[in-house]
Structure 1
Amino acid sequence: MTIGQRPSSTPRELARAEDRISFVYLERCTVHRDANAITAQDAEGTTHIPAATIGTLLLGPGTRITHQAMSVLGETGAGVVWVGEHGVRYYAAGRALSRSSALVEAQAVCWANRRTRLDVARAMYRLRFPDEDPAGLTRHELLGREGSRLKLCYRAESQRTGVQWKGRRYTPGDFSSGDAPNQAITAAAQAMYGIAHAVVAALGCSPALGFVHSGHELSFVLDIADLYKTEIGIPVAFDVAAQSPEDIGPRTRRALRDRVHEIDLLKRIVDDIKSLLLPAGGDDPGADDRDRVTLQSDRDVQVAAGVNYGYEETW
């Protein structure tokens, strides 16, 4: 049987998003496919990596990837990120691991109503800063408090690590223009965007329907990544900057990867997204992994697909 004739993997055959490796970074190699694994071939030999265990594949400088490798990564729901020497950009996503549309429908319902959209934004703030109660705050007040908390976080991490902090400065497209802590913060943030996007895509949510961010195709991804900025991204960045100003980008990614694995962040992201979008006590759409298609009828009734519902008429 050729690769093109292999049947698609079913949801039961794929690792859940929370059980996967957060990300795998490859550089200066050729990425190919061998059955349901990808291979990384370089001067030192060939390494096999089961595609279904990857959350996000980071492709660094000097990498080439084949069509067949991209095919298996897409089939298994792995995200693919092309990583430049001056930061990380997210360019691709795999097929959702859940075949159900229940979660993205719940997201759309929450997003479409201005009141529930603000409710989710407040819940996001509460996840980030559990010592504060954002009930009753307007969007402008939420943004103001978030900005103040970020400034406090930068100042606290500077004091903790002894790294001098002159303020957040980042010029898009010019990674090297920032000082060591700013470069590390940028590298950590971009890597977190890749991880968040991989989970959002794996759950079948819409990356574009954000509750804090808006107007961008990755608004919801930015929302989710920011949930862990002050707890994970910024502290890791200052730790790396305190060690050395050399090779900030690669060292930040490695340190972030270790931290993400240590606290089992992927499972937490999955749980947080579901808690934000699903009603309390509601059914978990991830529990139903059947590849099922229904048709919408009147009064929110779902009827079976593959059935001709035409009237009995003589033609």
Structure 2
Amino acid sequence: MKIPGVPPAELADLVRAEDRISFLYLERSIVHRDSNAITSTDDRGVMHIPAASVGVLLLGPGTTITHQAIALLADHGATAVWVGERGVRYYAHGRTLAASSRLLVAQATAVSSRDRRLAVARAMYAMRFPGEDTGSLTMQQLRGKEGARVRRCYREHAERTGVAWRSRDYDRADFDSGDPINQALSAAHSCLYGIVHAVIVAIGASPGLGFVHTGHERSFVYDVADLYKAEITIPVAFDIAAGGSSDVSADTRRAVRDRVHDGGLLTRCVRDIRTLLLQTTHTGEIDEDWLEPDEVRLWDDSGVEIPSGRNYAGSSDVDF
């Protein structure tokens, strides 16, 4: 019996991940399919996007996507992520871009081993202290070092902008109870979390398996987002607070959106995650082949994976 629907593309016909448009953002448009292309229709007309050239399609406000378009993206090893305006705030995602579980297995393996987990955590802190040796520091020492760095960052931006700064003090359940700078920091960090979450799910990692943070469904999101706060969200928040905004939340979201729009954060975030989990060299290229064959194998306690799709009842290595 013939399986209904359009068959997926052959592996040889797919474009390597490093040659794709890593992330494409669309908003206020209707997303459909025309042959092997994704179409985006808005008041400016129709744009055709070859499905094989897209890594992740970020669907912003006002987008409507058809079943045919989603099926085409999936068949070409791409995914869709529903986000807020220009990529900030994460809402939901389709299938991961990764065709294998390699990154997820590496993450689970590392987080399950005390030594590996400590090594990844140290590597995360090392990214914040370039040129300094963090390889022998305990987690307590690293937390103290990071705390001093963040306090220094707050103080420097307070002096730069003239914003009065006391401490990071906010109520998760009552946004309006904070002063303008704390409101701006909360809004900015929320946007950053959305961007990082979208990247993590798109490349096949788990948002919940953190190395520094733990016990929360977004632990790894917080781990990765902390790498960029001092550079992106903290200065943005102080700029907004210094400007006397009448709508801190909305103005902060727009400022973060503009800050990351042309800054290469998405590509940088992918590279950093892969470097941390796969222990690869931190180079300018994302060299992982996300388009590995769609192969399912069976785990064996000998450490050797065996082929799936066959019945092992008559196998000589089966003992009943």
Structure 1 length-normalised TM: 0.77
What residue number does 1:252 align with? 252
Residue 65 of structure 1 deviates from its aligned partner by: 6.0
| Cα distance between partner residues in 2 of 1:243 and 1:73 | 46
Residues 260-311 of structure 1, C-alpha deviation per residue, up to 9 Å, x if partnerless? 2332111111111111111346996435433222223453323333233332
Residue 34 of structure 1 deviates from its aligned partner by: 2.3
Indicate the larger mover: 64-73 or 228-237.
Answer: 64-73
What residue number does 1:135 align with? 135
Counterpart check, 1:293 vs 2:291: no
Residue 53 of structure 1 deviates from its aligned partner by: 6.6
Structure scoring higher RCO (CA < 8 A, sep ≥ 6) equals 1
What residue number does 2:157 align with? 157
What residue number does 1:80 align with? 82
Structure 2 length-normalised TM: 0.76
What residue number does 1:102 align with? 102
Between Structure 1 and Structure 2, how many residues are aligned? 296
SS at match of 2:79: coil
Higher percent of residues as helix: 1
| Cα distance between partner residues in 1 of 2:10 and 2:187 | 35
**Compared CA separation, residues 257 and 299, structure 1 to 2 (3 A):** same
**Compared CA separation, residues 157 and 100, structure 1 to 2 (3 A):** same
Residue 15 of structure 1 deviates from its aligned partner by: 6.8
Identity %: 43
What residue number does 2:32 align with? 34
SS at match of 2:230: helix
Residue 214 of structure 1 deviates from its aligned partner by: 0.3
**Compared CA separation, residues 131 and 164, structure 1 to 2 (3 A):** farther
Q: Is the 8 Å Cα contact of residues 211 and 220 (structure 2) preserved in structure 1?
A: yes
Counterpart check, 1:212 vs 2:215: no
What residue number does 2:171 align with? 171
**Compared CA separation, residues 237 and 48, structure 1 to 2 (3 A):** farther
| Cα distance between partner residues in 2 of 1:269 and 1:175 | 28
Residues 20-39 of structure 1, C-alpha deviation per residue, up to 9 Å, x if partnerless? 14x66x6xx7x754227586
Residue 208 of structure 1 deviates from its aligned partner by: 0.9
Q: Is the 8 Å Cα contact of residues 79 and 197 (structure 1) preserved in structure 2?
A: no
Q: Which runs of no fewer than 5 residues in structure 1 stay unpaired?
A: none
Q: Is the 8 Å Cα contact of residues 78 and 198 (structure 1) preserved in structure 2?
A: no
Q: Which runs of no fewer than 5 residues in structure 2 stay unpaired?
A: none
Within-5 A mapping of 1:117-128: 117-128=117-128
What residue number does 2:308 align with? 305
What residue number does 1:268 align with? 268
| Cα distance between partner residues in 2 of 1:175 and 1:57 | 27
What residue number does 1:221 align with? 221
What residue number does 2:183 align with? 183
**Compared CA separation, residues 242 and 56, structure 1 to 2 (3 A):** farther
Residue 90 of structure 1 deviates from its aligned partner by: 3.9
| Cα distance between partner residues in 2 of 1:170 and 1:72 | 43
Which letter maps to 2:273?
Answer: I
Across the aligned residues of Structure 1 and Structure 2, the Cα RMSD in angstroms comes to 3.6
Within-5 A mapping of 1:39-118: 52=54, 56-59=58-61, 68=67, 75=74, 76-81=78-83, 90-118=90-118
| Cα distance between partner residues in 2 of 1:53 and 1:284 | 14
| Cα distance between partner residues in 2 of 1:178 and 1:40 | 42
| Cα distance between partner residues in 2 of 1:201 and 1:146 | 27
Counterpart check, 1:243 vs 2:243: yes
